[in-house]
């Protein structure tokens, strides 16, 4: 899943969005990529990062290429960027 903090269409505190992610995460079926810039769509550097991570996800699950760190190690949002 991907989300932008400034999304005016699906705000970050939208309960349905949070509940869906939590349910899928407990099943180990979801990852959340949250970007600080942008509105409902990713642009610029965030779009490049998102594209790279989607490719890494499919490399792992479709091609069997070794997982990158972000796919194997959960990080709390407060440590984002460190």
More confident residue, 1 or 52: 52
Q: Which residues span the domain enclosing 74? A: 2-79
Number of H helices, E strands in the chain: 3, 2
pTM, full prediction: 0.74
More confident residue, 22 or 78: 22
Tally the domains of the chain: 1
Over residues 46-68, the pLDDT tens digits come to 999 999 999 999 999 899 999 88
Cα–Cα distance measured from residue 4 to residue 18, given in angstroms and rounded to the nearest whole number: 13
Residue 19 pLDDT: 86
Residue 21 pLDDT: 84
Residue with token string 């070794």: 66
Q: Residue 42: count other Cβ atoms within 10 Å of its Cβ.
A: 19
Residue 81 pLDDT: 60
Which 3 state secondary structure label does DSSP give 80? coil
With cut-offs at 50, 70 and 90, classify the pLDDT of residue 72.
Answer: confident
Residue 12 pLDDT: 67
């Amino acid at each position: 899943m991907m989300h932008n903090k400034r999304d005016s269409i699906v705000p970050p505190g939208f309960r349905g969005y949070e509940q869906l992610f939590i349910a899928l995460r407990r099943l180990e079926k979801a990852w959340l990529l949250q970007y600080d810039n942008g509105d409902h769509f990713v642009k610029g550097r965030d779009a490049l990062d998102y594209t790279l991570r989607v490719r890494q996800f499919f490399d792992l699950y479709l091609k069997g290429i070794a997982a990158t760190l972000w796919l194997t190690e959960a990080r709390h949002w407060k440590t984002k960027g460190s």
